[in-house]
Structure 1
Amino acid sequence: MSIYDYEVTLADGTKYKLDKYRGQPMVIVNTATKCGFAPQFEALEKIYQEYREQGLIVLGFPSNQFKQELGNSKDAAEACRTTYGVEFPMHEIHDVNGADALPLFKFLVNERPGAVGKAIKWNFTKFLVDRDGNVVERYAPKTVPDKMKPDIEKVL
């Protein structure tokens, strides 16, 4: 399977396949609105605004696996928009590890294992996907989005 075969669901319940973004670089990130890294939402939105006309899409996938997310997907998406000004697409809350992990995240971690294995260690693990659908980089939660810019510019 390629990344374009995966179906995901927006916070409002709308389902779509990632094929919608074929030919566009993507930053895919697991998020949590109550996480200490939540200020990264602003930096991710800044990157989205800076590079979106060149085709970049940022996709946020909230998870409560680390017990730092609001009770439902709509509330989480609304908090992102009102608190951090997020305009990039936010999706349904879903696990990112284990048997119930969103299949997209199983794919991502298989393509780009972390330093100590495949598991997502914390919120705000970020993946960079190139225009051809290849997962080219994985960034640790503590990596601030600005540090991703050189890699993003390479895939644009």
Structure 2
Amino acid sequence: MADVSRRALLAAPLLMAAAPTQTVFDFRLEALEGGALPLADFRGQALLVVNTASFCGFTPQYEGLQRLHDRFAPQGFAVIGVPSNDFRQESAEAAKIREFCETVYGITFPMAGLTTLRGPRAHPLFAWLAARAGGPPRWNFHKFLVARDGVAVRAFPTSVAPDHPDLLRAVEAALGGHPMG
């Protein structure tokens, strides 16, 4: 009997190691227009998940995010905008957010609905991203770059603009399957 228990204990770590690794593609957000925005639809692409806000000093970063999306989309890259009112600088109405993004900045990349990013009510995606890349967003336009494998994550603070050379190099590395370092 003791021999059976010993084998069970030795086998347990092997069973745990065989469990699949959770990826960004296992999460889903609500789309800004309503309905689901499953990240599984982006499997195999590198993603830049950005918490956005319409009434922030960094809101002009929308322009650079759209250029980044347009530049790298043909190579398997997408920006995912995630409006949040965690810092009290976003409209509570999805239609107003969409109208603002389209009319002022011409945003065509996917946008999620209003999402909580921080604290005990944080969306599971943002809890997952925060655990892998230095904590939750500290302000609007915090960027999480996720490699094509859906596992490797690197964070860029608000102050790093979408056209910053470090971010551009990291996107190129993520697209090429190289460390985003």
TM-score computed with the length of structure 1 as normaliser: 0.93
Q: How does 1:76-115 map to 2 (within 5 A)?
A: 76-113=97-134
Structure 1, unmatched stretches of 5+, are none
Matching residue of 2:86 = 65
Q: 8 Å contact 2:126–2:136 — kept in the other structure?
A: no
Report deviation, 1:154. Answer: 1.0
Matching residue of 1:153 = 172
CA shift digits 1:94-126 (9 cap, x unpaired): 11001111111111001111xxxx232100000
Specify the SS of the correspondent of 1:68.
coil
State which of 42, 59, 66 in structure 2 corresponds to 1:38: 59
CA shift digits 1:67-106 (9 cap, x unpaired): 1001212211221111111110111101100111111111
Letter in 2 for 1:142: S
Matching residue of 2:71 = 50
Deviates more, 1:12-21 or 1:53-62: 12-21
Report deviation, 1:135. Answer: 3.3
Q: 8 Å contact 1:45–1:88 — kept in the other structure?
A: yes
Q: 8 Å contact 1:108–1:135 — kept in the other structure?
A: no
Task: Please state if 1:21 is matched with 2:38.
Answer: no
Structure 2, unmatched stretches of 5+, are 1-21, 176-181
Deviates more, 1:72-81 or 1:96-105: 72-81
Report the Cα distance in structure 2 between the residues aligned to 1:112 and 1:77, rounded to whole angstroms: 28
Aligned length: 152
Matching residue of 2:4 = none
Letter in 2 for 1:16: L
Report the Cα distance in structure 2 between the residues aligned to 1:46 and 1:85, rounded to whole angstroms: 10
Report the Cα distance in structure 2 between the residues aligned to 1:30 and 1:77, rounded to whole angstroms: 14
Structure scoring higher RCO (CA < 8 A, sep ≥ 6) equals 1
CA shift digits 1:105-156 (9 cap, x unpaired): 111001111xxxx232100000111110023310001110111111111111
Letter in 2 for 1:42: E
CA shift digits 1:19-63 (9 cap, x unpaired): 111100000000001010000000000010111111111000000
Report the Cα distance in structure 2 between the residues aligned to 1:42 and 1:135, rounded to whole angstroms: 26
Which has the larger Rg?
2
Q: 8 Å contact 1:127–1:135 — kept in the other structure?
A: no
TM-score computed with the length of structure 2 as normaliser: 0.81
Q: 8 Å contact 1:73–1:91 — kept in the other structure?
A: no
Deviates more, 1:32-41 or 1:8-17: 8-17
